[in-house]
């Protein structure tokens, strides 16, 4: 904290002259006397100290009550931001504001709280000069990058802040989380209440999920995938949670593909892909699997890859069915063909119904 070049530690010294306990009061006159004794040869004047206190009050580091000689000051308990937080280097300021935009769901709530001073400092740094070329370029960076989800841009369902904060606290400290949760079944309107131990937060497209577990009576762990927008309430308890020792987030998401919805055993799939015109098909560059193989043929190519059948894979093949034909396995070909027949029957009357 820097108040002036002459007394660079004035605000820190003010705090050192106050009672260490938060909200413990000290008379304004006593505080000023104590502080001036620290600077025996060249103490700051009363007005200088009061201006520093006013700045500290704006930053919520101190608070006051009363008037004139009866005024008292006390610490609020909030930690003073470091000089780096007050004025981070330009490169750090850009990184902090990018973090604030793109990763709030991936940080514990108390860490976000600690970073607020850094975010505010970064904003101040970028707004210091309207003509400085370096600052103009830095401010423009936020308008030059964006993250979008693949597919149609669905709207993210709303999540109450107190629910997200409770979940993040329980996840960070491995505490038991008591939840009231409404599932997706049409015949089940009443929410269920139960306790779980959070394992991970997963952001999947527009939806945020909590992976959690609960210890069963037989000693095994049962895992849950809970959508945060379906939480009615969530409370982080003080009870230590027993984490699932076999849980591996990377394996859970990438290898087992539990977020693919109803994944099945891996199969070897073979497709015929037609390319009309001059546009290369998506599957040439974005592979279905690492072992994908392509054999060129007239009008397109044949593709073979080892995949995990799931709702997402079926939706992808249905979406591209006008150009992509499933050759094998026969069961998947038959299933997609039946879905297409049903779709054709629904659209056979091109006029539709009012």
Q: Both 210 and 227 in a single domain?
A: yes
Coil, helix or strand at residue 325: strand
Sequence-ordered list of residues with C-beta below 8 angstroms from that of 86, at least 6 positions apart, any chain = 1, 2, 117, 121, 124
| pTM flag (> 0.75) | no
pLDDT at 78: 79
Range of the domain at 293: 267-347
CATH code of the domain covering residue 46: 1.10.10.10
Q: How far apart are CA 13 and CA 77, in angstroms?
A: 16
pLDDT at 291: 92
Asked if residue 88 belongs to a domain, the reply is: yes
Q: How far apart are CA 210 and CA 235, in angstroms?
A: 14
Asked if residue 151 belongs to a domain, the reply is: no
- Token couple for 102: 């793109």
In Å, what is the CA distance from 12 to each residue of 7, 93, 124?
10, 24, 21
Q: Both 245 and 182 in a single domain?
A: yes
Q: What is the DSSP string of 61-110?
A: SEEEES-GGG-EEEE-SPPPPPHHHHS--HHHHHHHHHHHHH-GGGS-HH
pLDDT at 186: 56
Asked if residue 280 belongs to a domain, the reply is: yes
Asked if residue 152 belongs to a domain, the reply is: no
pLDDT at 181: 93
For 85-104, write each residue's pLDDT tens digit: 888 999 999 999 999 888 88
- Last residue within a domain, chosen from 24, 49, 75: 75
CATH code of the domain covering residue 247: 2.30.30
Best CA proximity match to 85, nearest among 107, 115, 56, 128: 115
- Last residue within a domain, chosen from 53, 75, 97: 75
pLDDT at 40: 80
pLDDT at 277: 73
3-state SS track over 204-235: ECCEEEEEEEEECCCCCEEEEEEEHHHEEEEE
Coil, helix or strand at residue 321: coil
Kindly give the parts of the chain with pLDDT less than 50: 1-2
Q: How far apart are CA 35 and CA 160, in angstroms?
A: 45
Q: Both 254 and 279 in a single domain?
A: no
Q: Both 228 and 295 in a single domain?
A: no
- Token couple for 114: 């600690």
- Last residue within a domain, chosen from 259, 289, 316: 259
Asked if residue 150 belongs to a domain, the reply is: no
Q: Both 231 and 320 in a single domain?
A: no
Asked if residue 156 belongs to a domain, the reply is: no
Asked if residue 153 belongs to a domain, the reply is: no
For 315-327, write each residue's pLDDT tens digit: 889 989 989 999 9
pLDDT at 2: 45
Q: Both 35 and 69 in a single domain?
A: yes
pLDDT at 278: 75
Q: How far apart are CA 344 and CA 349, in angstroms?
A: 9
Q: Both 189 and 252 in a single domain?
A: yes
Q: Specify the number of domains making up the chain.
A: 4
Q: How far apart are CA 40 and CA 37, in angstroms?
A: 5
Q: Both 271 and 299 in a single domain?
A: yes
Q: Both 222 and 166 in a single domain?
A: yes
Residue 11: half-sphere exposure toward Cβ, Cα within 13 Å: 23
Q: Both 176 and 237 in a single domain?
A: yes
Q: Both 251 and 303 in a single domain?
A: no
Q: Both 272 and 252 in a single domain?
A: no
Asked if residue 302 belongs to a domain, the reply is: yes
Compute and round to an integer the Cα radius of gyration of the chain: 30
pLDDT at 4: 59
Q: What angle do CA 28, 78, 161 make, to 5 degrees?
A: 140
In Å, what is the CA distance from 97 to each residue of 87, 104, 105, 146, 255?
13, 11, 15, 13, 33
């Amino acid at each position: 904290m820097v108040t002036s070049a002459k007394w660079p530690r004035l605000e820190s010294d003010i705090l050192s002259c106050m009672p260490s306990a938060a909200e413990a009061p000290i008379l304004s006159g006593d505080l000023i006397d104590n502080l001036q004794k620290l600077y025996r040869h060249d103490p700051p004047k009363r007005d200088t100290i009061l201006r520093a206190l006013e700045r500290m009050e704006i930053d919520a580091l101190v608070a006051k009550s009363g008037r004139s000689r009866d005024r008292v000051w006390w610490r609020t308990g909030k930690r003073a931001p470091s000089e780096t937080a007050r004025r981070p280097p330009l490169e750090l300021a850009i990184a902090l504001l990018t973090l604030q935009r793109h990763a709030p769901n991936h940080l514990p709530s108390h860490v976000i709280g600690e970073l607020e001073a850094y975010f505010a400092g970064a904003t101040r740094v970028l707004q210091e000069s309207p003509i400085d070329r370096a600052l103009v370029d830095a401010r423009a960076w936020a308008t030059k990058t964006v993250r979008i989800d693949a597919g149609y841009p669905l709207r993210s369902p709303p999540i109450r802040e107190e629910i997200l904060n409770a979940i993040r606290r329980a996840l960070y400290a491995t505490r038991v989380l008591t939840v009231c949760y409404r599932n997706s079944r049409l015949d089940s309107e009443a929410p269920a209440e139960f306790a779980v131990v959070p394992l991970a937060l997963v952001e999947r497209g527009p939806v945020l999920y909590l992976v959690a577990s609960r210890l069963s009576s037989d000693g095994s762990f049962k895992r849950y995938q809970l959508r945060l927008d379906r939480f009615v309430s969530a409370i982080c308890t003080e009870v230590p949670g027993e984490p699932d020792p076999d849980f591996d987030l990377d394996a859970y998401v990438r290898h087992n593909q539990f977020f693919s919805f109803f994944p099945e055993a891996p199969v070897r799939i073979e497709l015929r892909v037609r390319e009309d015109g001059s546009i290369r098909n998506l599957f040439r560059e974005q592979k279905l699997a690492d072992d994908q193989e392509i054999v060129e043929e007239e009008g397109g190519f044949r593709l073979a890859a080892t995949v995990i059948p799931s709702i997402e894979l079926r939706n992808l093949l249905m979406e591209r069915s006008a150009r992509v034909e499933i050759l094998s396995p026969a069961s998947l070909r038959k299933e997609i063909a039946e879905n297409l027949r049903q779709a054709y029957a629904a659209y056979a009357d091109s006029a539709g119904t009012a």
